[in-house]
Amino acid sequence: MFRTALLRSARCLAQAAPRAQAPIARSAFPSTFVQRNAAPSFSVPSIRFYSAHAGLSQEEVQGRILDLLKNFDKVSDESKLSPNSHFTNDLGLDSLDTVEVVMAIEEEFSIEIPDKEADAIHSVDQAVQYILSQPDGEKIFQVICWAVH
C-alpha cells in the first residue's frame, strides 16, 4: 500500500515537472501559425491528500458479508442468513462453495487471506472477526494528483 502511494506520488511529480521546450524559429512557420500572445504555461506542484478512517465497525463488516452472501447464487434459502449463520450447516454450502465465499470476501475487503486462515473461516461470525482483526483490513488511502500544464 505504501509502495503504491510512493509510486503514484513519483508519477505525479514527473508529470508536474516543468518541461523545457526548444524555441521555435519564426522563419520555420508562417506568421499565421505562431501564437504571439500565448498565455505562459505553468504547473502546480502535486498535491497529495491521504484519508484513512479508523476502520470499519462490526455492523458494517457484517452487513457487507451478509449482502455478499445474499447475492451468492448457491445460497438457496436467504431466510437462514444471519450474523450467526454457518456456511455448511445453515446455508448448505459445500467446501468448494465455502472457498468461493472466502475468495469473494477477500475481493470485497481488498485483503488477502492466507490458506491456513481461510480454512478456519466457516461462518459469518468467523469472517467478521477475521476482517476486524486485520490491521490493514480497510484503510483507504486516496491519492489525488493534480497537474496543470
Q: Nearest 10 degrees: CA dihedral of 8, 9, 10, 11?
A: 50
Between CA 137 and CA 130 the distance in angstroms is: 9
Give how far Cα 98 sits from Cα of 27, 72, 92, 118, Å. 73, 11, 10, 9
What CA–CA distance (Å, rounded) separates 65 from 87?
A: 12
Are 101 and 69 spatial neighbours (Cβ–Cβ below 8 Å)?
yes
Is 125 a known active-site residue?
A: no
Amino acid letter, 18: P
Annotated catalytic residue: which of 94, 97, 115, 136? 94
121 and 61 in contact (C-beta within 8 Å)?
Answer: no
Enumerate the active-site residues: 94
